[in-house]
Structure 1
Amino acid sequence: MNFLVGLTGGIGSGKTTVADIFTSFGVAIVDTDAIAHELTGPRGGAMEAIAEAFGPGVLLPQGGLDRAAMRRVAFSDPEAKRRLEGILHPLIRSETERRCVAMAWAPYVMLVVPLLVESGVYRQRVDRVLVVDCNESTQVERVIARSGLTAEEVRAIMATQASREERLAVADDVILNEGDRAELEDRILPLHRRYLELAEVAGRHLTQR
């Protein structure tokens, strides 16, 4: 198995931008959010079970998941949220595992997991935890700008996630993302070099067993 770096951060922290920069350095990215979108798109692998569990009210005309409708259901009913997670999470984990194994060509794999801190499963699987950090006000501003949600809606989503303090408490490495992309690249490059070294050492240990 490849050396795995778990990338996480709160909504609006800039995980996608950070992952894109690591990709430009030749790192393989496995994004659990992207996998979830595939599973809940038209003809996605989770849609039959979701339709059976929640009915047509959470479906788009094309057959994919109506995320806004599902969000309203999940936020108003904790049991519905648990049912949705019970459908999606095993499928996401299975596909994540498959993709990580297929990335044997990469120097290391970055596993992007928004809820890594909340999930004991992923925390146990990765070799390092990298947290993208920023002020909570920055998170709110970014999400409003890209999604059209209100500040109250964004903060409601944030309230369901680990706090900033909880994420930082489990981090092996932290990237502060309050500036521009060039500043972010300067912070990421030393980390990338460090991960290359750690991956090489881990690889040597495996071959010596």
Structure 2
Amino acid sequence: MKKVGITGGIGAGKSLICEVFQLLGIPNYPADFRAKWLQSNDPDLKAKIAHHFGEEAYFENGDLNRDYLSKEVFGDDEKLKLLNSLVHPAVGEDFENWCALHADKPYTLKEAALLFETGSYKQLDATINVHASQDLRLKRTLERDPQRTKESVLAIMKKQFSDEKRMGLADYVIYNDESKSVIKQVMALHEQLAG
């Protein structure tokens, strides 16, 4: 079974593309969602986070105190690196366990916003970048997430690799910029990956 990563800048449409692959029977591991889940549910990871960031990192009921942790790491690259060094290995192990459950499939998808930035793409057999222009991604994100401001979305984009850099690293590109049929691109790529 091949392990295929799928990424793209905020608002590129990764989740939509993954839904099309899922209709074709290809399972998708949502790495960002699982990372959040593991931080509240994996006892080893919770202990490590509490050890490094204090008991305040969790509420009494055991849920992650996201606001507290965000404030702790915001603007502090060393603390952010530390948190990532705790979370990414837990996600990697969770992904491997999840893949074992889907060994009957020709390939699986690992959906991650920071696939290249974290280096996790190195454990995969191939990568897909979902491409859309920055203006289109900004427009989509503001429509999808009305609580965000233009400035906050642009700040997220600054932390992500540029689309040019992602496209240079990716094995495949799906254009979700309204210039080509997404379904036709996914179908063609599915045939290639499943073959």
If the length of structure 1 is used for normalisation, what is the TM-score?
Answer: 0.82
- Could you tell me which residue of structure 2 aligns to residue 195 of structure 1? 193
- Could you tell me which residue of structure 1 aligns to residue 94 of structure 2? 95
Structure 2 counterpart of 1:86, one-letter code: S
Counterpart secondary structure, 1:174: strand
Q: CA deviation at 1:85?
A: 0.7
* Distance (Å, rounded) in 2 between the aligned partners of 1:86 and 1:96: 16
Q: CA deviation at 1:83?
A: 1.5
Aligned counterparts, 1:1-209, within 5 A: 2-41=1-40, 43-45=41-43, 46-55=45-54, 57-60=56-59, 62-120=61-119, 122-147=120-145, 148-179=147-178, 183-197=181-195
Structure 1 counterpart of 2:101, one-letter code: A
Q: CA deviation at 1:69?
A: 4.1
Question: Gapped runs of 5+ residues in structure 2?
Answer: none
Aligned-pair identity in percent equals 30
Deviation string, structure 1 residues 89-148 (Cα, Å, up to 9, x no partner)? 11111111111122111121112222121233x322222211001111222222223331
Counterpart secondary structure, 1:65: coil
Q: CA deviation at 1:39?
A: 0.7
Structure 2 counterpart of 1:77, one-letter code: D
Residues 172 and 155 (structure 1), Cα distance of their counterparts in 2 relative to 1, 3 Å cut: same
Preserved CA contact (<8 Å) 1:36 1:88: yes
Give the aligned length: 193
* Distance (Å, rounded) in 2 between the aligned partners of 1:150 and 1:90: 32
Question: Gapped runs of 5+ residues in structure 1?
Answer: 198-209
Q: CA deviation at 1:61?
A: 6.2
RMSD between superposed Cα atoms in Å: 2.2
Residues 68 and 20 (structure 1), Cα distance of their counterparts in 2 relative to 1, 3 Å cut: farther
Q: CA deviation at 1:195?
A: 0.9
Structure 2 counterpart of 1:126, one-letter code: L
* Distance (Å, rounded) in 1 between the aligned partners of 2:151 and 2:7: 23
If the length of structure 2 is used for normalisation, what is the TM-score?
Answer: 0.87
